[in-house]
Chain A
Amino acid sequence: MKSVALHSKRTTVLLKSLLMLLFFAFSISTYAQDVDEARQKEGKKLFKSLCASCHKLDKKLVGPALAGIESRRENDWLKAWIKNNAELRATGDADAVAIFEEYNGSNMSAFPQLTDQNIDDILYYTTVGEIKKAAPAGAVAAVSAGSTSGAPEWIIYLLAGAIVVAFLMIASLLKQVNELKGVKKPSVESNLKRDLQELWEGIKKNTFLHVLFVIFAALMGAYIVFGTLFKVGVDEGYQPVQPIVFSHKIHAGDNKIDCQYCHSSAKHSKHSGIPSVNVCMNCHKNISEVAENTVVELEDGVVLGKQELDKEIAKVYKAAGWDAENLEYTGETQPIKWVRIHNLPDFVYFNHSQHVTVQGVKCQKCHGPVEEMEELYQHAPLTMGWCIDCHRETKVDLKGNEYYAKIHEQLAKKYGVEKVTAAQLGGLECGKCHY
């Protein structure tokens, strides 16, 4: 009995410990799966607003990648560093000095406004990272739904094809049957042919129709010849293939970057200028790949997805001599050979600053809806008639121009108008643009 009792006692202990172990294991595993979402969210918010300008989780940016930083550094050290890294370095902390040296002495901003709790939340975010949403199930469902809805269409086309083939077969069969039966072709056809022949003979003899035809042909010919001649040197709609697939729609449209951010010389000079690559790099130092699902559709029907577009950004890096791996300039630059679209002949003087800065004409007035163009094309004909039309309509902005105030006043009186148009101010004189 005693041994049995001992045995039972031993088993209960064993069982209990097993149970404990199970429970423990279970609790650990649940802990690992369950992320404190509120904390993660708070940390993510802080990270995005304060840290993300220099740090990414998975990639080096201005500063090092921060995923799993907690496993590499002590919590206290991190807090001291984040709050004021200069102070920490001043105390002679070897790690702090080492990391400062490693990043070529680039100063990390101090964040004295962060509490310990804030920093813990940020660190928590760097450890757990993004929360994977239960998206796969939905995605699978969507895919399967897409394929089922896609199948009938395919079948419809197949059926339509089959019906057409069947009709053709029946028609050819009927024809063969008719031929075998020896049925002669209906005589109507030859009658019709004869009728047409007679009509043609009649037309040939009719002088009035001859004259009418000649007049018509002459008018058509003149229309075609002049239409062709007037297109000489007018490049409206010209849309060359550029060395880099640059979409104005993405930059000026979707991302709402001002035209003059890149074409910065339009405000002071004759030319609006093609931005040099350093202007591209102001943003693309950070943006090395396009967003998911970005699509650019070219005029030739070619559709470029993320994979191709990332290669286009790589071309910018090549031109700028930017090493995207080590995030530094190599010094090996090469120019991008953009193809010029808008090109006035050299016997015309046109000044961008006069139109953009002085008069405040919107870029779109001459260049069209650029912010909607995947590939840029010439919107306006850029002919002299087109220039003059606008000069006749546009009222000159007289505000804040004391030097010309008097002449404006006199001209307004002379023409009996309230506001002088560009044409009345001399915008039609030959020498204004041709000299």
Chain B
Amino acid sequence: MKNIKIIFALVVFTSIISCNDKRTPQLQYMPDMYESVPYNTDAENGLLGDPVNLKPVAGTIARGGHAAYEYLDTNEGYELAKTNLKNPLEATEENLANGKAMYTIYCTSCHGSKGDGNGYLSQAEKFLGIPNYKDRDLTEGSIYHVLMHGKNLMGSHSSQLTYKERWQIVQYVEVLRADLSK
């Protein structure tokens, strides 16, 4: 009889441990091995409680990076970018292909796969009044400027895309616009 009681207790105990509440993480064996001394990129605080993910020092440029975007988010900045800014990338198939891939991720939801402003969110009436590219007077500079700073309800997409990807998208948008204007 004593045996049965012990076994019963063991079963209950283990089932309590193993039927873990999914709201809490599982037990870790030797957590020191799981979390090392260096800070994680997404860690909250570092030394002395300072945030780890501080912005880089103003004016510094990452290796292989590009200087900060100089045109301001104003009407004048827009006009300047529209006339002066040129695409530094060559119009190659490779650039265009990646431009299309990036456009599909970041732009199609609203602007549509053809750039006619008829994306899924537009069809579902979440976002309304998305312009057709052919109805707008666009240059490569103005497209890049809007990608950097956003315009009206469109927000800036600079944080999600790299310098090169932005220009690849610009290239692809110009191709779409040419197709629409045919």
Within 8 A of A (CB), among B24-40: 24-29, 33-36
**With an 8 A cutoff between CB atoms, is A366 at the interface?**
no
Which A residues are CB-close (under 8 A) to B106? 258, 261, 264
Chain B residues in 8 Å Cβ range of A345: 33-35
Contact between B126 and A238 (Cβ–Cβ < 8 Å)?
A: no
In the assembled complex, B18 has its CB within 8 A of some CB on chain A: yes
Stretch from A50-58, A135-143, A169-177, A304-312 at the B interface = A50-58
Minimum C-beta distance from B153 to chain A (A): 5
Instruction: Indicate if the CB atoms of B152 and A264 lie closer than 8 Å.
Output: no
Binding site of B, secondary structure by majority: helix, strand, loop or mixed? loop
- A228-B14 in contact (CB<8A): yes
Instruction: Let me know if B36 and A233 touch, CB within 8 A.
Output: no
Across the interface, name the chain B residue whose C-beta is closest to A236.
B26
Say whether B7 contacts A62, CB under 8 Å.
Answer: no
Smallest CB-CB separation from B124: which chain A residue? A255
Smallest CB–CB gap between B108 and chain A, Å? Answer: 8
Question: How many B residues touch the partner, as a band?
Answer: 35 or more
Which residues of the other chain, A, contact B18 by a CB distance below 8 angstroms?
224, 227-228, 231
Could you tell me the distance in whole angstroms from the C-beta of A259 to the nearest C-beta in chain B?
8
Q: Of the candidates A52, A233, A255, A271, which one forms a contact with B27 in the assembled complex, judged by CB atoms under 8 Å apart?
A: A233
Given contacts A217-B7, A346-B36, A54 and B129 within 8 Å (CB-CB): yes
Contact of A274 with B128 in the complex, beta carbons under 8 Å: no
Chain A CB within 8 A of B20 CB: yes
A282 touches B (CB below 8 Å): yes
Segment at the A interface, from B63-71, B84-92, B130-138, B171-179: B130-138
Say if the beta carbon of A256 comes within 8 Å of chain B.
Answer: yes
Q: Is the CB of B23 within 8 A of A53?
A: no
Query: Closest residue of chain B to A287, judged by CB?
Result: B126
Contact across chains for B34 and A285 when beta carbons are under 8 A apart:
no
Residues of the A chain whose Cβ atoms lie less than 8 Å from the Cβ of B129: 47-54
With known contacts A50-B129, A256-B109, A278–B155 Cβ distance under 8 A: yes
User: Are the C-beta atoms of B130 and A53 separated by less than 8 Å?
Assistant: yes
Provided the pairs A255-B124, A286-B127 are in contact, do residues A234 and B156 lie with their beta carbons within 8 angstroms? Answer: no
Q: In this assembly, does A260 line the interface, its C-beta being within 8 Å of a C-beta of chain B? A: yes
Of chain A, the residue at the smallest CB distance from B38 is A346
A106 on the B face (CB < 8 A): yes
The complex places the Cα of A221 from the Cα of B3 at a distance, in Å, of 13
Contact of A278 with B156 in the complex, beta carbons under 8 Å: yes
Size of interface on A: residues with Cβ below 8 Å to B = 59
CA distance A88 to B151 in the complex (A): 22
Bound-complex Cα distance A287 to B109 (A): 14
* Complex Cα–Cα for A62 and B129 (A): 12
Report A219-241 CB contacts with B as 1/0, cut-off 8 Å: 00100110110011111011111
A264 to B156 Cα, complex, angstroms: 14
What's the count of A-B pairs with C-beta under 8 Å? 137
Q: Which residues of A contact B150 (CB under 8 A)?
A: 282
> How far, in Å, is B45 (CB) from chain A's closest CB?
11
In the complex, A306 Cα to B127 Cα: how many Å?
19
What residues of A have a CB within 8 angstroms of the CB of B27 in the complex?
A: 231-233
CA distance A256 to B122 in the complex (A): 12
A335-377 CB mask vs B (1 if < 8 Å, else 0) is 0010010000111000000000000000000000000000001
Which B residues touch A49, using CB under 8 A? 117, 128-129
Other-chain contact of A52, B29, B34, B128 (Cβ < 8 Å): B128
Check if A264 sits within 8 Å of B25, measured CB to CB: no
Report yes or no: A255 in contact with B121, Cβ–Cβ below 8 A: yes
B104 touches A258 (CB 8 A): yes
Contact with A along B111-129 (1 / 0, CB 8 A): 0000001001100111111
A105:B128 contact, CB within 8 angstroms: no
What is the CB-to-nearest-CB distance from A430 to chain B, in angstroms, rounded to a whole number? 15
Given contacts A105-B75, A107-B75, A258-B104, contact A235 B25 (CB under 8 A): yes
A282 touches B155 (CB 8 A): yes
A428 within 8 A of B: no
Q: A206 an interface residue at 8 Å Cβ cutoff?
A: no
Task: List 17 A-B pairs, Cβ < 8 Å.
Answer: A53-B128, A109-B131, A225-B14, A231-B26, A232-B28, A240-B24, A258-B104, A261-B109, A264-B106, A271-B41, A278-B159, A283-B121, A285-B153, A286-B127, A346-B34, A346-B35, A347-B36
Please report B residues at the A interface, Cβ cutoff 8 Å. Answer: 7, 10-11, 14-15, 17-18, 20, 22-29, 33-36, 41-42, 44, 74-75, 78, 104-106, 109, 117, 120-121, 124-131, 135-136, 150, 152-157, 159-162
Q: Chain A: residues with CB nearer than 8 A to chain B?
A: 47-54, 61-62, 105-107, 109, 113, 217, 221, 224-225, 227-228, 231-235, 237-241, 255-258, 260-261, 264, 268, 270-271, 273-274, 276, 278-279, 281-283, 285-287, 299, 337, 340, 345-347, 377
